[in-house]
Amino acid sequence: MSTSDSKHTQTLATLGVSSAEQVHSLFAELRSQFDAAARSATDENSWKALRDAWFGRRSGVLTLVTDNWLKPSSPELKRAVGASLNELRTHVDGRIETRRIAIEAGAEAATNARDRMDLSLPGVIRPIGTHHLIRQVFEEIEDIFFSIGFSVVEGPEIETPYYNFEALNIPEHHPVRDDMDTFYLELPKGVPGPLLLRTHTSPVQIHTMEKRQPPVRVIVPGKVYRRDNPDATHSFMFHQIEGLAVDADITFCDFTGTIDYFVKQFFGESVKTRFRPSYFPFTEPSVEFDASCIFCGGSGTAKTGGTCGKCKGAGWIELFGAGMVDPAVYGFVNYDPKKVSGFAFGIGIDRLAMLKYGIDDIQVFFQNDVRFLRQFP
Ligand code: PHE
């Protein structure tokens, strides 16, 4: 405080105060000094400084006034000084408390103003995800088969060897089991096993025929698992759509016509199909379907000249395996092989998606890189 403020550091005698009148005006002066200081206490920090300056126990104004004015005062003035000091103390106390309340309320109002919602602001627009390309291709293929009377069924991804192999005419030690290197589950003690991750969607053929009588026309989309090392064309998990049609008089012509219809719907009318002999234990005869190369139009020559890199000049691209249901399979589901016939196919979805959309690495399907995913909104 400035020197003019510092009268309370001196005694009344030194100040030459000798009457009650003078005491009153001295206190009035001090009070107006306080009022001025209180007015400038507008935030928490300046309020604390005010409180300490006036109430500080060792050198606050009120302590100094008590020590310098009251205690050493002459007996004649003591009453007047005591009364004025009490009055000042009550005044200072009251004002400091009202300032505190005002400052706190102000801070609260400021916080409220800051937090208030502005309804005129535009909302936060969160990007909406899209179906993964694999799901889109599933749906595309499902729609094609819906249009010719197939319906969708699903089956378990954890299977018994019976459904994954035996009932599909693949007995133990059959060499094709080597092509389908299988994940077996580690089971807790006491749980009957073995159980495995299905290596193809074909076990759902068996589940379906166990539950339904012909006519059966189903497709089975789903995940399948094989112990393959990941590379550009292999993944330990990939996707298939199984197809199964069984009825009283389904012919080989129905079979190839259906596949040809599907391939043309999926890749385009100009694409031709052919089939080559193949082998699966659960179809007889078994075939491998090819499509004329969608990159070079079947010519085997790239548009830029030279050999087409996609079909390696063959003009044909291998699509998927299929065949007429082997009568032995009907034996496992109590269908009468003399009365029914049918066909089955197993389409690798990832492979078809790669062909159709020009993707050369299967791994990008599983890396969830949005730069890839966003290309297929
Ligand atoms: N399940 C066979 C595989 O995954 C494909 C297939 C399905 C072949 C149906 C013929 C009939 O390789």
Q: Which helix (H) or strand (E) holds 344?
A: strand 341-348
pLDDT at 176: 80
Query: Dihedral of CA 55/60/65/67: which sign?
Result: positive
* Nearest by Cα to 333 from 291, 268, 282, 299: 282
Strand duo 216-225 + 151-152: pairing: parallel
Whether residue 357 is predicted with pLDDT greater than 50 in this model: the reply is yes
Across residues 122-151, what is the average pLDDT?
93
Where residue 178 falls among pLDDT bands split at 50, 70, 90?
confident
The torsion angle over the Cα atoms of residues 177, 181, 187 and 189, rounded to 10 degrees, is 60
- 222-234 residue pLDDT tens: 999 999 999 999 9
Mean pLDDT score of the chain, rounded to an integer?
92
Q: Hey, is 66 helix, strand or coil?
A: helix
Q: What is the number of the ligand 1 atom nearest to the C-alpha of 201? A: 1
What is the whole-number distance in angstroms between the Cα of residue 199 and the centre of ligand 1? 10
- 236-256 residue pLDDT tens: 999 999 999 999 999 999 999
Whether residue 164 is predicted with pLDDT greater than 80 in this model: the reply is yes
Radius of gyration in angstroms for the set of CA atoms belonging to the chain, rounded to a whole number: 46
* Nearest by Cα to 347 from 145, 167, 151: 145
Whether residue 4 is predicted with pLDDT greater than 80 in this model: the reply is no
How far lies 71's CA from each of 5, 10, 65, 67, 195, in Å? 20, 12, 9, 5, 97
Q: In the structure, which protein residues have their CB atom closer than 6 angstroms to any atom of ligand 1?
A: 200, 202, 242, 280, 283, 321-323, 344-346
pLDDT at 3: 43
What is the whole-number distance in angstroms between the Cα of residue 177 and the centre of ligand 1? 13
- 289-338 residue pLDDT tens: 999 999 889 999 988 889 998 889 999 999 999 999 999 999 999 999 99
Q: What is the number of the ligand 1 atom nearest to the C-alpha of 348? A: 4
Cβ atoms of 290 and 271 closer than 8 Å: no
What is the whole-number distance in angstroms between the Cα of residue 322 and the centre of ligand 1? 6
Q: Which helix (H) or strand (E) holds 220?
A: strand 216-225
Cβ atoms of 278 and 261 closer than 8 Å: no
Cβ atoms of 318 and 290 closer than 8 Å: yes
Structure tokens at 294: 């969608």
The pTM assigned to this predicted structure is 0.68
Sheet with 237-247, edge to edge strand ranges: 151-152, 216-225, 237-247, 341-348, 316-325, 283-292, 273-280
Ligand 1: residue of 200, 219, 228, 320 to mutate (most ligand atoms within 8 A of CB) is 200
- Identify the top-confidence range among 33-47, 66-80, 87-101, 143-157: 143-157
CA–CA separation, 150 and 221 (whole Å): 12
Cα 228–Cα 230–Cα 234 angle in degrees, nearest 5? 70
pLDDT at 1: 43
* Cα 258 to chain centroid, rounded: 39
pLDDT at 177: 79
Q: Which amino acid is at 234?
A: H
Whether residue 259 is predicted with pLDDT greater than 90 in this model: the reply is yes
Across residues 58-62, what is the average pLDDT?
91
Classify the phi-psi angles of 92: left when phi > 0, otherwise alpha if psi is within -120 to 50, otherwise beta. alpha
Q: Which helix (H) or strand (E) holds 208?
A: helix 203-211
Least confident of 174-178, 327-331, 358-362: 174-178
Structure tokens at 166: 């035996």
Where residue 2 falls among pLDDT bands split at 50, 70, 90?
very low
pLDDT at 96: 92
CA–CA separation, 189 and 208 (whole Å): 31
Share of the chain above pLDDT 70, in %: 98
Cβ atoms of 240 and 206 closer than 8 Å: no
Structure tokens at 269: 């009318």
CA–CA separation, 119 and 230 (whole Å): 51
Where residue 5 falls among pLDDT bands split at 50, 70, 90?
low
- 85-115 residue pLDDT tens: 999 999 999 999 999 998 888 888 888 888 8
What is the whole-number distance in angstroms between the Cα of residue 319 and the centre of ligand 1? 12
Q: Atom 2 in ligand 1: which residue has the minimum CA distance?
A: 346
Q: Hey, is 371 helix, strand or coil?
A: helix
